[in-house]
Structure 1
Amino acid sequence: MRCSSMWLIFALKFSFNLRSVHPVSMIKFTNIKCVALDKPFADFAYCKLKALSRDDVALSLRVKLFEVPVNNVSLKVEFFKKYNGYRPFLFNKTLNFCEFLRNKKRVALLDIIFKFLELYSNINHTCPYNNDIIVDRLILRPSYFTMLPAPAGEYRIKITVGAYNDWKAIVNVFLQIWE
């Protein structure tokens, strides 16, 4: 089979699978779990969800940094979808976070996420970080995900944060999407 034929079959199969994927119509946080791996370096002052209404759940967290300034940050972002347990889905990337903040368009999916995350946090500048990291009352809205059609279901986003080539914290964010 020629290479062009294989690409045609792949493209057709992919396009048929996209028919079951619709733009997000409803999305909300269901749980959050934060673990500090190096408490002398940083610890969570709080890491919580607050139900504001039936459909609105706000995420808030504060990371107290004890060794500042921090100018070497690594980030590992993994997406999981719940089938029988959480299975890897769509995205698994480790990157230099300081470099990413200088040019966000290089990682399109994270660029979509950071467009709305910057509105609710102080993670809106490049390194170094000289004060606590705060995310305050982040509420997910379907309008944030117009460029990212996703199938309905339960998801987990695992964010592992490192500094100076050592993992410092893990944040697991659980969310649910409806079509």
Structure 2
Amino acid sequence: MDIHVRAYQLPVNNISINLSLWHRTNSFQPFLYNQTYDYCKFMKNPTRMPFVKIFFDAIKRTSNINHTCPYNHDLIVKGFVMNDSMFRLLPLPGGTYMFKLRVATLNAWRAEVGVQFLLDLKSK
């Protein structure tokens, strides 16, 4: 996954993120997790929010979002690959899932990214 977010109003120091996990039965249904966080507070102490930290630890190696607010530059993710190891710590049954990330700045939702994946328990 490659994402380039152009920041038109700098600095950005009010960021909310919503992370949710969806499971597919006949259609995608909310499953286990749907939380909204103040991203700037999270960056000051990432260990307080374990689920967000799982995602952040995976994405920070391929992005320039690995510092606290404010952000005075465009946000870039380049070459991010989601894999089963991100979810090994969660008690998930096998199946098809969707991980959704929503981002808000200045209290308005600006972006949404959804990634579908198959969790194969045989490889756990």
Task: Please confirm whether the aligned pair reaches a TM-score higher than 0.5, indicating the same fold.
Answer: yes
> What is the aligned partner in structure 2 of residue 150 from structure 1?
92
Question: What is the aligned residue count?
Answer: 121
Taking structure 1 as the reference length, the TM-score comes to 0.63
What does residue range 100-179 of structure 1 map to in structure 2 within 5 Å? 100-179=42-121
How big is the shift at 1:121? 0.9
Segments ≥4 residues shifted beyond 6 Å: none
Query: Could you tell which deviates more after superposition, 82-91 or 133-142?
Result: 133-142
Cα distance in 1 for partners of 2:44, 2:63 equals 17
Q: What amino acid does structure 1 have at the position aligned with 2:80?
A: L
What does residue range 20-99 of structure 1 map to in structure 2 within 5 Å? 59-99=1-41
Q: What amino acid does structure 1 have at the position aligned with 2:32?
A: L
Query: Could you tell which deviates more after superposition, 141-150 or 101-110?
Result: 141-150
Post-superposition CA distance 1:68-114 (Å, at most 9, x none): 11001011111101111101111110111100111111211111111
| Greater strand content | 1
Gaps of 5+ in 2: none
Cα distance in 2 for partners of 1:162, 1:64 equals 14
Instruction: Check 1:92–1:144 CA distance in 2 against 1; reply closer, same or farther (3 A cut).
Output: closer
Cα distance in 1 for partners of 2:52, 2:65 equals 13
Cα distance in 2 for partners of 1:96, 1:80 equals 21
Secondary structure of 1:131's aligned partner: coil
Cα distance in 1 for partners of 2:36, 2:81 equals 25
Taking structure 2 as the reference length, the TM-score comes to 0.88
> What is the aligned partner in structure 2 of residue 24 from structure 1?
none
- State the identity as a percent: 37
Cα distance in 1 for partners of 2:61, 2:91 equals 22
